[in-house]
């Protein structure tokens, strides 16, 4: 619930109600992790939070606010987008039975299929806004210093100049290379984990539930644009 509320500000032009709900969720997150950090200070464990506390206390690499912010980010980003990857991906596979059957027959394609599904229906549709530090021209378009630029990842993943038949799902596509994790110094911290989770999940479903089919051909989507995913996905075997 906190993650859903906090992520509302990732939408274009969030309303005041959405921003207020996000503020309350952020305060709740901060209080939760502040208490958990104090507990870990008293009783360190073999876990990521303890290592972050070490980076704060002994190494001086994190401030307390940075420690809390990173803990919140790792928790929220660790499941929200992966949930949508799995939902969007399974829906895409079942809507393309030839591709589902190919994955069932060749479950070893699961890792490549995950990359293709990230490209085909990305769980994040927009990159984080960037502000130009100087005038720059990109493909004939001039961006002025201090102007804000938002890249539409979902559109880039269907770029016909980059992908052959971009609107076609192909679990064996050569070099899908989705933009879904970003690029450069802001490349998604959890990309490796998300890829592994997707590959394991899609392979497991293909092996264990080869005859799975949709109950709802048009399942309900979340009422959000940037974080793109399903409210539910009913299937039968």
Contact 228, 154 (CB under 8 A): yes
Nearest to 206 by CA among 86, 26, 37: 86
| pTM of the entire predicted model | 0.83
Which residues, 6+ apart, have CB-to-CB distance to 55 below 8 Å? 61, 62, 67
Query: What pLDDT does residue 234 have?
Result: 95
One pLDDT digit (tens) per residue for the chain, 237 residues: 777 777 777 777 778 888 888 889 889 999 999 999 999 999 999 998 998 888 876 767 788 888 888 888 888 777 778 999 999 999 999 999 999 999 999 999 999 999 999 999 999 898 888 899 999 998 899 999 999 998 899 999 999 999 999 999 999 999 999 999 988 888 888 888 899 999 999 999 999 999 999 999 899 998 888 888 999 999 998
Give me Rg for the CA atoms of the chain: 20
Which residues on adjacent β-strands are paired with residue 143?
Answer: 136
Assign domain 80-236 to its CATH superfamily: Cytochrome P450 (1.10.630.10)
Dihedral in degrees, nearest 10, Cα atoms 222, 224, 228, 233: 0
Contact 214, 95 (CB under 8 A): yes
Domain definitions of the chain by residue range: 13-77, 80-236
Rounded-to-integer distance, Cα 237 and Cα 234, Å: 11
Residue written as token pair 């939760």: 32
Contact 204, 64 (CB under 8 A): no
The DSSP secondary-structure symbol of 81 reads H
The rounded Cα 42 to chain-centroid distance in angstroms is 33
Query: What pLDDT does residue 167 have?
Result: 97
Rounded-to-integer distance, Cα 65 and Cα 83, Å: 28
Can you point out the beta strands (E) in 112-231? 130-131, 136-138, 141-143, 148-149, 213-214
């Amino acid at each position: 619930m906190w993650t859903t509320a906090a992520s509302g500000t990732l939408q274009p032009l969030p309303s005041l109600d959405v921003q207020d709900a996000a503020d309350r969720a952020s305060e709740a997150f901060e209080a939760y992790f502040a208490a958990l950090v104090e507990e870990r200070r008293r009783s360190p464990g073999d876990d990521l939070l303890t290592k972050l506390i070490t980076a704060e206390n002994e190494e001086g690499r994190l401030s307390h606010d940075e420690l809390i912010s990173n803990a919140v980010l790792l928790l929220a980003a660790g499941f929200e987008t992966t949930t949508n990857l799995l939902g969007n991906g399974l829906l895409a596979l079942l809507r393309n039975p030839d591709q589902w059957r190919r994955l069932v027959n060749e479950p070893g394609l699961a890792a490549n299929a995950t990359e293709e599904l990230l490209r085909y229906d990305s769980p994040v549709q927009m990159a984080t806004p960037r502000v130009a530090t100087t005038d720059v021209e990109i493909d004939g378009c001039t961006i002025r210093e201090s102007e804000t630029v938002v890249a539409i990842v979902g559109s880039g993943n269907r770029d016909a100049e980059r992908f052959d038949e971009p609107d076609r799902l192909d679990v064996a596509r050569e070099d899908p290379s989705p933009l879904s994790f970003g690029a450069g110094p802001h490349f998604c911290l959890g990309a490796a984990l998300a890829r592994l989770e997707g590959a394991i999940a899609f392979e497991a479903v293909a092996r264990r539930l080869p005859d799975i089919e949709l109950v709802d051909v048009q399942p309900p989507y979340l009422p959000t644009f940037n974080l793109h995913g399903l409210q539910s996905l009913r299937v039968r075997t």
